[in-house]
Structure 1
Amino acid sequence: MINGILKSFSYIFHPLLMPLFGVVFYFAKTPRFIPVEIVRAQVVALFILTLILPVLLYYLLKITGHVKTINLESTKERIYPLLINCLVLVLVLQRVVTPNQVIELYYFFVGILYSNLACLILVLFKFKASIHMIAVSGLYMFFIALSIHFKINIGGTLALMAIVMGAVATSRLHLKAHTYQELITGAFVGLIPQLILVNYWL
């Protein structure tokens, strides 16, 4: 029972879902008027580029033998998925979320790109930072920045996100997917780029 619950956290809060969570949360909380058509177009485009496309490319990598499981257990298995994700994020920044449209989301995705690049560099040095913690901590920092930027009270959401971060870390430890050091490193790799980039839009 407990094993199933902890394992579910790794899937519910999968790194591929975090950008979409951030985008949906932004559009739900922004006080700016944004036409529904634009919101729908951006959400659909990001759903395809940040979720559907990476999943399809993962299966291509699996068929060609570059990865073995979705957990990407070795540092070698992580190289191609991280490279692909970086290229996808560059495409998102050039075609979907530009600074002239929604500057907050633009820098959110720039932060995600920097975190992915940092994770890739660590992988090249044979260090496996937790991608789950990178994603959830980056999203948490983005939520904090939005609450300050828009002057909105989202204390409940932030408290829930703190619990989620703890649950994800516990899940990864329970599944023996990462060590404490890999989880802590992942949290900082996700949080710091978002924190630095706040200076450009907050």
Structure 2
Amino acid sequence: MTDFLLRSISFIFHPLIMPLLGVMFYFSKTPRFIPQPIIYGKLFSTLILTVILPLLLFYLLKTLGKVDSIYLKTTKERIIPLILNCLIVLVVLFRVFPSYEILEIYYFFVGVLCSTLACLILAFLKIKASIHTMAASGFFMFAIAIGVHFKININGTIMLTTIIVGAIATSRLHLKAHNGSELLIGSFLGFMPQLVLLNYWL
């Protein structure tokens, strides 16, 4: 039962959904008036580009024998998916959330791009960082920043996200997908770019 629960946590909170969660969180908390059709359009575009397209590309890579599982267990397996993800994030930045529209989300995705590039560089160096904790920590920092930016109480979100990050880390350790150092590196890669980029929009 415990093994099933921890495997489920790794699957449910897969890194692919974190950018979408960040966008959903922003639209749910922003006090600015944004027409509903625009919100739905942005959410749909984000879903297509950051979740559905990567999944389709994964199955293509799996068919070609370039990857073995969606968890990308080895550094060699990670290189092509991370490169493709960098390209996808660039498309999001230029076509879905350009800097002149919604600055907060623009810099959120700049942070996502920086984290992904850092993880890619480490993969080339044969250093494995936890992409799960990287994505979750990036969202965590962005959520805190949004709370400060709009001066709203997000204590419940912070508490829930802290529990989720802890559950993800526990899951990855239990499944022997990562060791403690790899989880810490992943958390740092997700957290720091979002923190540094606050200077540009907070």
Q: For this structure pair, what is the TM-score category when the shorter chain's length is used for normalisation?
A: over 0.9
1:121-144, Cα deviation, whole Å (9 max, x unpaired): 000000110000000000000000
Which segments of structure 1 move beyond 3 Å, counting only runs of 4 or more? none
User: TM-score when scaled to structure 2?
Assistant: 0.99
User: TM-score when scaled to structure 1?
Assistant: 0.99
Equivalent residues in 2 for 1:17-36, closer than 5 Å: 17-36=17-36
Residue identity in the other structure for 2:93: L
CA distance in 2: counterparts of 1:69 and 1:46, whole angstroms: 23
CA distance in 2: counterparts of 1:113 and 1:19, whole angstroms: 11
Residue identity in the other structure for 2:102: V
Aligned to 1:181: 181
Residue identity in the other structure for 2:145: A
Equivalent residues in 2 for 1:91-130, closer than 5 Å: 91-130=91-130
Q: Secondary structure at the match of 1:72?
A: coil
Equivalent residues in 2 for 1:110-189, closer than 5 Å: 110-189=110-189
Residue 190 (structure 1) shift: 0.2
Count residues in correspondence.
202
Residue identity in the other structure for 1:90: L
Indicate the percent of aligned positions where both proteins have the same amino acid.
58
Contiguous gaps of at least 5 residues in structure 2: none
Q: Secondary structure at the match of 1:77?
A: helix
CA distance in 2: counterparts of 1:54 and 1:197, whole angstroms: 25
Residue 12 (structure 1) shift: 1.1
State the superposition RMSD in angstroms.
0.5
1:112-168, Cα deviation, whole Å (9 max, x unpaired): 000000000000000110000000000000000000000000101101111111000
Aligned to 2:85: 85
Aligned to 1:62: 62
